[in-house]
Amino acid sequence: MSDRLLNQFTNVAKKALEASKYSTTLGMNMAEDARRLSRAEMNEEDFVRKYQGMVQKEFGKKMELAGIEETKDGPKWGMVIDLRKCVGCDTCTVSCKAENLTPPGISYNVVLVEEKGIFPNVSRTNTPRPCMQCDKPPCVTVCPVRATYKSGDGIVVQDNDRCIGCRYCMVACPYGARSFDFGDSYEGEMLGYGAMTAPDHGMDRGERKKGHSPIGTVRKCTFCFHRLQRGEEPACVETCVGDARYFGDLNDPNSVVSKMASEARAFRMKEEYGTEPRVYYLR
Amino acid sequence: MAMNQSELKYEEETNPNVNVALRYKSWMVFLIVAMVVGGAAIGYRLVEGLAVTNLTNFVPWGAWVAFYIFFVGLSAGAFLLSTLIFVFGMVQYEKVGRFALFTALICMVVALMFIALDLGRIERATNTLINWNVMSILSWEVRFYLIYMVLLATELWFAMRKDLNLLARSGNLFKNKLASFLTLGSNDISDIAIKKDHSWMKILGIIGIPIAIIGVHGGTGTLFAAVTAQPYWASPLFPIIFVVSALVSGTALLLAMYVIQRKARGLEVELGMIQGLAMLMIGFLAIDLTLEFYEFLVAGLNNKPEKMAILSVMFTGPYAWSFWGVQLFLGAVVPIYIVANKRLRNSVTALTVAAICIVIGIIGVRFNIVVPTQIIHQLKGMPQGYYAPNLVEWLSSLGVVAIGLFLYSIGAKLLPLEVNDEEVIEHE
Ligand code: SF4
Ligand code: SF4
């Protein structure tokens, strides 16, 4: 129905364009891509790049990106967690452990539970907490050897081959998002656990052995960097039962996460610490 | 002093009625046993990693960090006391001057051993020098510690140079040979050269004051104060409290060590000087307590929930005994009572007990700085942690302290740390 309507309009537009002194094909193509643009199948930058030359030739006017931040430097990852949708099932915690093969005692993700009020007026809030990948990360500031640093894609990276295991970053992280690898193993319960290797920042370290990194160093959530490299979402996002987690490029103002992050419901944890987290919550 | 130089001799006094050699031997045997036991614990920890400690992801910093800041504090305190003598000319304390420098040096060695033991990856410790993060206080501290230790050793060398020369000439034992080696070929002990030594000591002392106050111990306090995530540490008063409590513990340690050494050799101790040191120590303690009082008062009046939670752990939680019992009663009430009491004030033994109490009290202070704040997790909704050092941590700490005391005892035996009476006058 709507298609037929649309086609009718298209024909009208075509006739109007043919009557004008400007190129009909250009007009039709631009209109089609503009529709893609509005359906977010195309971004504005590509649109401008595609037509800039032709528009200049045809109309003698320069097309420019209006009010849009440059996205040349690639995506800057961020996450939005909708607290109203989180059911507190801890699937993210478990899938994170399975994905990153974290040893006993280490959990990159936890779900904090807060109950308020007296029965029957009780409310319960579940707050999942990954590493916030802060833009002003205190863990990076304190590290004496620059083992932990902020990478260009927004992720706070930890170099386990440089870390001296002083644990200063652990006491300095306001979100308790860092853990020390004491060298414990699930080998007793799970045969071959040590043979599997944790995909740490996209690097394969081989068998988990005493005296080898990351044992004796600090570890943290990487937004599943190894999955991002394959074009997949972080494990916690993919497995979330309540579909409460969103992941994407906060650099792109049109991304779902950017839009959600600018909603009135959005907030960040411990904003007053000035850490500028890249994980937003919707209250 | 117009004395023929060949007549000058450096000799350590001992009381002939006491079998000093035997006492020294049994002390050394005791230290060796402690080092063997502690060494086993240290070895176990080195092989097995930090898993053998009681540290967890809730409380990542424990006893070793507390001991590390304790010994950095002792060192800074002892050094600052030495500057009172060598820079500000308080000659009444001259007798402890070289001991102060040597103690400061040994305490730094002990502190670094503690922090090395605490690293998850000791073998990478030099990374701190290679990869400098200019924003990280810890990375600055490592550098300050090293500069400070070189400075201490140099100043001590100038302080001992004359006596090293005298010692080198007065015999042919190992001790004399070592002394001759340590002179590093600088054999001029004319009055002019000695004067030069003194001005060098003064210069090094003056350079050392800001390094010790701002760099070494204030810096160590800043290391904590800079952590916003720990509301108890994040106070600008913290570095100052660190420095003042360093002075308290440094003075107390010197007093106690000096008296114990003299007594062990069966020698008299001059009450006047000990009283002076004790007054100094109590004065520093009073300032320290005042600062802490305001720290707690303002925290209480601010009524920030996170900070109040930590204070309540300190005051009423599982470590309350350490705050009320060790830090306040043993570390403040007892020594203040001793010094205030007319009878006790005139007894060297009582004053030494007061000093030892203060040193133990400051261990409590350091422990209370490091541990209680971590008990409350950074996030609401997480359970409370708990930490108490386990046997491995205690024994390895014993081992490290024993190594320090061993080095100290050897040094005290072989180096001319005692100051002869006529030199005291000479220094004026
Ligand atoms: S949440 Fe903690 S570990 Fe993650 S970037 Fe921020 S300070 Fe660092
Ligand atoms: S534990 Fe490792 S990453 Fe953390 S501050 Fe120390 S050296 Fe840096």
Q: Which residues contact A20 (CB under 8 A, 6 or more apart)?
A: A27
Cα B146 to averaged position of ligand 2 atoms, centre (Å):
20
Note whether B14 and B267 are within 8 A (CB).
yes
Q: Which residues contact B245 (CB under 8 A, 6 or more apart)?
A: B73, B288, B362, B365
Is the pLDDT confidence value at B347 over 80?
yes
The distance of A202 to chain B (nearest Cα, Å) reads 22
Nearest by CB to residue B374, choosing from A163, A171, A175, is A171
Nearest by CB to residue A143, choosing from B119, B133, B226, is B133
The distance of A50 to chain B (nearest Cα, Å) reads 45
**Yes or no, beta carbons of A145 and B131 under 8 Å apart:** yes
Mean per-residue pLDDT, A219-248: 93
Query: What is the chain A residue with the closest CA to B65?
Result: A166
Residue B1 near chain A (CB below 8 Å): no
Is the pLDDT confidence value at A71 over 50?
no
Nearest by CB to residue B229, choosing from A127, A145, A172, is A172
Res B5: pLDDT: 46
User: Phi/psi at A189 (nearest 5 deg)?
Assistant: -95, -20
Mean per-residue pLDDT, B106-126: 95
Res B3: pLDDT: 43
Nearest by CB to residue B382, choosing from A141, A176, A180, is A176
Report pLDDT digits (tens) over B186-237. 888 888 988 999 899 989 999 999 999 999 999 999 999 999 999 899 999 9
The distance of B169 to chain A (nearest Cα, Å) reads 48
User: Which pairing describes strands A123-129 and A245-249: parallel, antiparallel, or unpaired?
Assistant: unpaired
User: Which pairing describes strands A203-204 and A199-200: parallel, antiparallel, or unpaired?
Assistant: antiparallel
Ramachandran area for residue A133 (φ above 0: left; ψ -120 to 50: alpha; else beta): left
Res A232: pLDDT: 92
- Chain A residues with CB-CB distance to B50 below 8 A: 165, 180, 182, 216
Note whether B427 and B132 are within 8 A (CB).
no
Distances (CA, A) of B47 to A193, B42, B54, B109, B274: 22, 9, 16, 22, 45
Asked if residue A139 has its Cβ within 6 Å of ligand 1, the reply is: yes
Is the pLDDT confidence value at A279 over 70?
yes
The distance of A180 to chain B (nearest Cα, Å) reads 6
Angle at B216 between CA B215 and CA B221, to 5 degrees: 95
Res B275: pLDDT: 92
Residue A165, CB-side half-sphere exposure with 13 Å CA sphere = 28
The distance of B397 to chain A (nearest Cα, Å) reads 18
Q: Which residue would you say has higher pLDDT here, A184 or A133?
A: A133
Res A202: pLDDT: 67
Is the pLDDT confidence value at B12 over 90?
no
**Yes or no, beta carbons of B128 and A164 under 8 Å apart:** yes
Report pLDDT digits (tens) over B154-187. 999 999 998 888 888 887 788 888 888 888 888 8
Token pair 């340690």 is found at: B253
CB burial of A160-195 (b: ≥16 within 10 Å; e: otherwise) equals bebbbbbbbbbbbbbbbbbbbbbbeebeeeeeeebe
Is the pLDDT confidence value at B1 over 60?
no
Asked if residue A173 has its Cβ within 6 Å of ligand 1, the reply is: yes
Cα A164 to averaged position of ligand 2 atoms, centre (Å):
6
Asked if residue A143 has its Cβ within 6 Å of ligand 2, the reply is: yes
Query: What is the chain A residue with the closest CA to B371?
Result: A171
- To test the pocket of ligand 1, the residue of A107, A149, A156, A273 to mutate (highest count of ligand atoms within 8 Å of its CB) is A156
Asked if residue A172 has its Cβ within 6 Å of ligand 2, the reply is: no
Report pLDDT digits (tens) over B281-306. 999 999 999 999 999 999 889 888 88
What is the position in ligand 2's atom list of the atom closest to the CA of A170?
4
The distance of A6 to chain B (nearest Cα, Å) reads 55
Report pLDDT digits (tens) over B55-64. 999 999 999 9
Mean per-residue pLDDT, A65-74: 58
Helix (H, G, I), strand (E, B) or coil at A200: strand
Is the pLDDT confidence value at B371 over 90?
yes
Asked if residue A175 has its Cβ within 6 Å of ligand 1, the reply is: yes
Res B2: pLDDT: 41
**Least confident window among A203-207, A214-218, B9-13, B288-292:** B9-13
Res B6: pLDDT: 45
- As a whole-number percent, the residues of chain B with pLDDT over 90 amount to 63
Mean per-residue pLDDT, B140-152: 95
Mean per-residue pLDDT, A142-162: 93
The tokens describing A46, both together, are: 């590509």
Asked if residue A251 has its Cβ within 6 Å of ligand 1, the reply is: no
**Least confident window among B265-274, B386-395, B398-407:** B265-274
Residue B381 near chain A (CB below 8 Å): yes
Is the pLDDT confidence value at B69 over 80?
yes
Is the pLDDT confidence value at B269 over 60?
yes
Res A35: pLDDT: 79
Cα B141 to averaged position of ligand 2 atoms, centre (Å):
15
Residue B125 near chain A (CB below 8 Å): yes
Nearest by CB to residue B128, choosing from A129, A145, A274, is A145
ipTM of this predicted structure? 0.89
- As a whole-number percent, the residues of chain A with pLDDT over 70 amount to 93
Asked if residue A163 has its Cβ within 6 Å of ligand 2, the reply is: yes
Ramachandran area for residue B49 (φ above 0: left; ψ -120 to 50: alpha; else beta): left
Q: Which residue would you say has higher pLDDT here, A25 or B105?
A: B105
What whole-number distance in Å separates Cα of residue A281 and Cα of residue A96?
19
- To test the pocket of ligand 1, the residue of A81, A150, A275 to mutate (highest count of ligand atoms within 8 Å of its CB) is A275
- Chain A residues with CB-CB distance to B228 below 8 A: 138, 172, 174, 273-274
What whole-number distance in Å separates Cα of residue A201 and Cα of residue A82?
26
Specify the residue with its C-alpha closest to ligand 2, atom 4: A169
User: Phi/psi at A38 (nearest 5 deg)?
Assistant: -75, -25
Q: What is the DSSP string of B217-253?
A: IIHHHHHHHT-TTSTTT--THHHHHHHHHHHHHHHHH
Is the pLDDT confidence value at B8 over 70?
no
Nearest by CB to residue A184, choosing from B51, B139, B381, is B51
Query: What is the chain B residue with the closest CA to A167?
Result: B60
How much is the mean pLDDT over chain B? 89
Radius of gyration of chain A (CA): 24
Res B223: pLDDT: 94
Cα B335 to averaged position of ligand 1 atoms, centre (Å):
44
Split at pLDDT 50, 70, 90, the class of A278 is: very high
Res B422: pLDDT: 52
Cα A185 to averaged position of ligand 1 atoms, centre (Å):
25
Q: Which residue would you say has higher pLDDT here, B423 or A96?
A: A96
Residue B390 near chain A (CB below 8 Å): no
What is the position in ligand 1's atom list of the atom closest to the CA of A133?
5
Note whether B152 and B108 are within 8 A (CB).
yes
How much is the mean pLDDT over chain A? 87
Split at pLDDT 50, 70, 90, the class of A24 is: confident
Split at pLDDT 50, 70, 90, the class of A5 is: low
Res B425: pLDDT: 46
**Yes or no, beta carbons of A210 and B49 under 8 Å apart:** yes
Specify the residue with its C-alpha closest to ligand 2, atom 2: A163
Radius of gyration of chain B (CA): 22
Res A119: pLDDT: 87
Query: To probe the interface with B, which of A131, A158, A164 has the most B CB atoms within 10 Å?
Result: A164
